[in-house]
Amino acid sequence: MDSSKRKFLALSGLAVASSLYASESPHIKSNEKTTKKHKKASLPDTKNPRVVVLGGGWSGLSIAKTIKELSPQADVILVEKRHEFISCPISNLWLVDKVDLEYITHDYLQAARNYDYTYFNATAIGVDKKNRTLQTSEGDIAFDYLVLSPGIDYDYSKWTKDITLVTRLKQEYPAGFIPGSEHITLKNKIQNFKGGNFILTVPGGNYRCLPAPYERACIIANYFKQKKLKAKVIILDENNAVTIKKKGFMSAFKELYADYIEYIPNSAIESIDLDTKTVTTELDEFKFEDAAFYPRVRGAKIIETMGFAKDAKDRMEGNINPLTYEVEGESNIFIAGDARPMGFSKSGNTSNSEGKYVGKLIANRINKLKAPKWEAPVTLCFSAVSTEPENAIFIYTQYSFDKKDKSLENAKFADWKKFSFSETTSSENWKKDGVKNAASIYSWADALYFDMFGAK
């Protein structure tokens, strides 16, 4: 077993079995009854307003922290199914040992202690809207406000409806865009690769982290090049061009990895045969030795289970007012992070900065203050184009909408389309600024991890 795998297993601990036992504590409010099927979660009572945040990712961590900062009297509970946080940002560098697992792994207990909220390790399974209760594997939790930040799930349906194939794709060729086991499998694939074609796919639609598949291709190619492997990273991109930081990535493909990367746009996949190891696109057929198949994404399925998902361009995402993040028809339930329908970049920085606004919005309600003015989330995204030496590119953008558009005063789900990029700048000349940008990758990550988890 390699050392990173050992460390990961040590950090993970054992899966906790579901225990639907009743606690002795009374409900936070007299009208909040547990349903017949579920028992109360074992949590202390409170007389204060309770906010339950589902999902301890970049969105949920930022929201929980902000609410507690602005409304210290609130009883904030972060419900998260994982035992520890593993960061997707920076994980591409971990694949080739540029950082160790400790750097991208963080402690939910530390975050909860530093920011004075409760981390509750459980899987959410449903909601009882009438009784304002989140149902979890560890019992029901009554809430005054509920925030859903559960991220994404994969959607393989554009490629195949064959469940056996989907199961094999998930297990044998995971995308590596939801952290944990998928990343470990991918790391082992890369580090044990003997040569030949390594396929990476880029999905269509607003997928999680637009630059990450291209960054990953560069990092893998750099690794193969250093090892002097006879190998090629084939990028099958469903889109007609690189979706972001195009100049920077295309020049890296051409100038650094001409013999190692083959970039093929307009590659909508028609079939994948895992026995003959062949991928067929509209235009061609590709043989591969290994691969990571990244399908389209959709809002996490728990949102659909709760009845809060709506279709935004083939992506079942939160049915929310895009300005207030409230679920349509539910004034005390919110959806944020990558599960939102707006065309913002599905990135950690975006979710973290958006979380400050959503947190303020809820804190102001609790504090009986006016709703805050809408604040644009910020996307600041660094991508490595090489690791030996380290070079990177970045993009910065905010978002805006037409303030004269009166219909947005009562914004509806359908208005998710009305937001556009603003204040966009980028640094894509890696030959000039690559070293400086690469250093910023680590200062960015340090700052964001500190923001979410606080001091050790």
- Out of 32, 75, 80, 428, name the contact with ligand FAD by CB under 6 A: 80
- Is residue 302 within the footprint of ligand FAD (CB under 6 A)? yes
358: nearest Cα among 148, 109, 119, 174: 148
Task: Give the number of other Cβ atoms within 10 Å of residue 368's Cβ.
Answer: 6
| Shortest distance in whole angstroms from residue 84 CB to ligand FAD | 10
- C-alpha distances in angstroms, 70 versus 67, 361, 378, 399, 404? 5, 10, 21, 24, 31
| Shortest distance in whole angstroms from residue 289 CB to ligand FAD | 22
Token code pair at residue 263: 């970039």
Binding mask 172-191 for ligand FAD (x = CB under 6 A): -----x--------------
Which residues neighbour 62 within 8 Å (Cβ) at sequence distance 6 or greater? 351, 352, 353, 354, 355, 356, 359, 451, 452
The continuous run of DSSP H or E covering 423 comes out as strand 420-427
Footprint of ligand FAD on 195-214 (CB under 6 A): 208-209, 212
* Distance of alpha carbon 149 from alpha carbon 140, whole angstroms: 18
* β-strand partners of 335: 148
Nearer to ligand FAD, 4 or 92 (CB): 92
| Shortest distance in whole angstroms from residue 150 CB to ligand FAD | 3
- Is residue 151 within the footprint of ligand FAD (CB under 6 A)? yes
DSSP, collapsed to helix, strand or coil, labels residue 143 as coil
3-state class percentages of the chain: helix first, strand second, coil last, to nearest 5: 30, 25, 40
- Is residue 83 within the footprint of ligand FAD (CB under 6 A)? no
Nearer to ligand FAD, 58 or 193 (CB): 58
Footprint of ligand FAD on 363-422 (CB under 6 A): 381-382
Nearer to ligand FAD, 55 or 434 (CB): 55
For residue 129, the Cα-to-chain-centroid distance in whole angstroms is 26
Nearer to ligand FAD, 74 or 186 (CB): 186
Footprint of ligand FAD on 59-78 (CB under 6 A): 59-60
Nearer to ligand FAD, 58 or 408 (CB): 58
| Shortest distance in whole angstroms from residue 97 CB to ligand FAD | 16
- Is residue 119 within the footprint of ligand FAD (CB under 6 A)? no
Token code pair at residue 136: 């979890």
Give me the count of residues in the chain.
456
Q: Which residues bind ligand FAD (CB under 6 A)?
A: 54-60, 79-82, 88-89, 91-92, 123-124, 149-151, 177, 208-209, 212, 300, 302, 337-338, 346-349, 351, 381-382
